[in-house]
Structure 1
Amino acid sequence: MSSLTEDVVRQRSKSGRTCLIYSGKVYDVTDFVSKHPGGVDVLEEHAGQDVTEAMHSSETHKHSRYAFTMLDKYCVGKVQNTSDEDLCLMGKPNAKYFYNRQEGYTDPVDWNKPVLPQIPMLREKYFEWTHQPTDLPLRLFHSDFVEYFSKCSWWMVPMYWVPVMLAMIYWAYTGLSEHPDVWLPWLAGGIEINVSRMPYLFVLGALSWTLLEYVIHRWVFHLKPPTQYPIILQLHFLLHGQHHKCPMEKGRLVFPLVPANILAYIVYSVVSLVCPLLMTLSFISGMVLGYMIYDLTHYYLHHGSPSLTYFKNLKRYHVKHHFEQQHKGFGISSKLWDYPFNTLITE
């Protein structure tokens, strides 16, 4: 292991590399900066410094054991005049963070091959494995064509869904202007749905999305799948398992258009069973807005550097969901439904 002085570490950081000192070792995390769950600013602020205390401080964010496992691979040397014995002693308080390496842990998945076909072999290990985050690059499919469409850039969300939302609003507005809908016609003549009620339906749709977001995240995405059905394990991994395993993958943070359209069709079909067409369009257009806010907020929480207090707190909250308390904190665009369902992260 090469020895570096603290001055050399600082000079490297000034020359464009992002180097840190932790427990007597030097880490070059330049390639990790853009992935850092706490945001780019945090690592850049501490470049060239000893972050041993900071990484265990609860004032900013107390790092989970997975953070230290990821950090280990970026080690490039030790601080000069630090003996191997000193390193051992310095590392003792944090020994549990390196349990994978120390206990000879071997990942059951070969990351040099497509991961999805390997998921069924995990069986009982699957759920625990998906909740051990990594920053390794993820490939799902053998086919380049299918792999391409398994990813989605954040800007595709508004590019696709804003026109869809506006089309539904226009269709509902022009239709209701000519002939109002009647909801529940068998109930004392029904309730007239005209243009003046559209804003209320739109807002109600957006608020309803926040509940649907919570329900899907908690009771679908975080449902422990039955291990005896390989296809269900693979489906679960496609829907959400991959995100918890590889939370720093930029291309896998927003819903690809195909599954998003399937979800939209299911929701539309359910609402249309109890509401007339134009009322349904008014309501669903609001849900589309809620969905866009959710998906873009989710991306921003992972890869943005918020300046507003609300988003700063929400980012910390979501990081805790990923790395500390994955059985809580199911609200993403807001904490609203974590309160009544008693899943609020408070620590």
Structure 2
Amino acid sequence: MGNSKGGMGGTSQSLRNDIAEFEFHGSFEVETLNGLYLNDIYIPEELILNILSYVPAKDMLALTLVCKKWCNIIKSESLWMDIYNRTHSRKAKNIPWYVYYCYFTTDNFSNLIKNGNGQEGFKHWKIIKNYGDEFKIENPPMGCDPLPSDVPEFYGQTGCFATSFHECFKIQEISLIKKRLLMYIMDKFMPHLYVSEWMAGRFDCGCMYTLGVQGHSEKCYDILNPDESMELLSESENSRIDNCFKSNRTETIAQWQGREWQKVEILVERYPTMIQYLYFGHEGRDTQFWKGHYGSKMAGGVLRFIFESIEPLEDMGVTAARRLYEPR
């Protein structure tokens, strides 16, 4: 990406141009057997491919500098499909090698949320509303069941966030500015976006909980404004405005019906191009205005792209999902 002297808007436009114009080079034309000989012993290309498939994915691109032959092998669908088939029960799809590379070397398809159980205090979170007796980290959770021990998104943690008798709302902002390959894949393939979190109430007090996700083409400052953030999070249905999408779910737990942990999930299947910022937000409070921390509790937030939702490209590089989204 080139330097921009046009401020934030100029930088954003420069990034859009970079993504829109970005292309991967094709295979090199190789007329020799260079790269297939080791100590004057010929090694078939199929065997080289098999050997390279055991190299850690994060180290793979460095080996493209060995020679053009190896570059072609490493940047081939066959190599990455072999790697995927060896480590997954689901059969690999014929999608570009760089999609597999992104899958194996980043957290984009596992979890982009950090500190989901409050193990690092409120690090990585931006607290927008902290009313009543404010957010609290409970370890272990009070007035409800312990966190299930077999849930992978807790990463072995036992704590949670607890809310009070007025709105407690915080977010994580996930910038995609430095994730250009992911942005390219989003615009080209539109992988589904999955968002989830576990929540619970207390055994003795009713509560409300809202999970929300937004995507924007520009940094969204309204969501940082307490006077406007609630309206942004409380959209009742999926919506999209210009280069923006929003989705949320709200759960209400009646008094004496809480204490058990339940998973709240959101699936975003369609979104505009050039999304540069993602916002994960949750909000909670109690419904009986009791002093203390009798509101909803939350832990184990997840925001990830679903690799399995990516389908091979169709004619002219336009996916079926993207064509459905675009206005007719």
Instruction: Give the structure with the larger strand fraction.
Output: 2
Instruction: Give the structure with the larger helix fraction.
Output: 1
TM-score by length of 1: 0.25
